[in-house]
């Protein structure tokens, strides 16, 4: 697909998301937050769900945690316009509660289509819900954050780079240091200055349909 075709396809998905009116999250005052960025992005960053500010501005990651994430992105030499930013769930859950499995399942086809259209080389997962989607639920973010893993997406390899959610970094100084250091690791990985520790170190093992990660 050309960049223009990808842009049109992403616009179509945004319309389909808006047409759900929130699906299981429908309520007065709720707005769609489909995602934004470069249709040809090499990197997609995927968070959990929009919050208060995102619902108002209809853009992902524009509140406090978004500012932290975008600041780190730019500090590491990426421009906001070269990446694509979106969420697992496309509307704000009430009181910013965790999304339910039914809500995640409802919005999954939209996210999957976005990924397939863009065809990124890297997906940065921000927080555990986004990490679970690609790496399975029986792993701990504390153990595997900052460690790249390779997955197969419709016959194409994508490197998943799991990171803490920026909201968790804002709550605890220790997580903040790891969040910032993971951004630097991501930069080295993408810029090709791979150290031995930055080669994919995780193998995805499918056992009875349960995704398991094994540290190599
Ligand atoms: N947190 C998220 O996970 N996504 C946003 O868009 C904003 C905050």
What's the predicted TM-score (pTM) here? 0.91
Is any ligand 1 atom within 6 A of the Cβ of residue 34?
Answer: no
Ligand 1 centroid – CA 216 distance (Å):
31
Q: What angle do CA 15, 19, 23 make, to 5 degrees?
A: 130
CA separation for the pair 70, 91 (Å, rounded): 20
CA separation for the pair 66, 53 (Å, rounded): 10
pLDDT tens column, 88-125:
999 999 999 999 999 999 999 999 999 999 999 999 99
Mutation to probe ligand 1, out of 37, 48, 86 (largest number of atoms < 8 A from CB) = 48
Q: What angle do CA 146, 112, 135 make, to 5 degrees?
A: 35
> The tokens 């968790």 sit on which residue?
168
Confidence of residue 130 (pLDDT cuts 50, 70, 90): very high
Is any ligand 1 atom within 6 A of the Cβ of residue 65?
Answer: yes
pLDDT of residue 192: 84
Q: In what order do the strands lie in the sheet with 149-153?
A: 36-37, 84-87, 43-47, 122-126, 156-163, 149-153, 202-207, 210-215
pLDDT of residue 204: 58
Is residue 113 classed as helix, strand or coil in its secondary structure? helix
pLDDT at 129 over 60: yes
**Tokens, residue 48:** 């959990």
Which residue spans within the chain are E strands per DSSP? 36-37, 43-47, 84-87, 122-126, 149-153, 156-163, 202-207, 210-215
Is any ligand 1 atom within 6 A of the Cβ of residue 130?
Answer: no
Ligand 1 centroid – CA 96 distance (Å):
9
CA separation for the pair 128, 134 (Å, rounded): 10
Confidence of residue 138 (pLDDT cuts 50, 70, 90): confident
CB atoms within 10 A of CB 86: 24
pLDDT tens column, 48-96:
999 999 999 999 999 999 999 999 999 999 999 999 999 999 999 999 9
Which domains occur in the chain, in start order? 3-215 (3.40.470.10)
């Amino acid at each position: 697909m050309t960049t223009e075709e990808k842009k049109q396809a992403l616009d179509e998905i945004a319309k389909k998301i808006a047409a759900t009116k929130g699906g299981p999250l429908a309520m007065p005052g709720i707005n769609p937050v489909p995602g934004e960025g470069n249709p040809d992005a090499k990197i997609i960053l995927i968070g959990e769900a929009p919050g208060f500010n995102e619902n108002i501005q209809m853009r992902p990651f524009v509140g406090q945690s978004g500012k932290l994430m975008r600041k780190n992105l730019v500090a590491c030499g990426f421009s906001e316009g070269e990446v694509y930013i979106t969420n697992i769930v496309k509307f704000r859950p009430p009181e910013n509660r965790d999304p339910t499995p039914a809500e995640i399942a409802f919005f999954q086809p939209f996210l999957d289509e976005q990924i397939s259209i863009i065809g990124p080389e890297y997906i940065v997962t921000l927080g555990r819900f986004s990490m679970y989607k690609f790496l399975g639920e029986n792993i701990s973010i504390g153990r595997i954050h900052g460690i790249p893993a390779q997955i197969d997406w419709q016959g194409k390899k994508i490197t998943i780079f799991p990171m803490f959610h920026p909201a968790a970094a804002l709550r605890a100084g220790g997580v903040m240091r790891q969040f910032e250091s993971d951004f630097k690791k991501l930069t080295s990985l993408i810029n090709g200055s791979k150290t031995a520790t930055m080669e994919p170190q995780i193998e995805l093992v499918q056992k009875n349909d349960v995704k398991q990660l094994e540290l190599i």
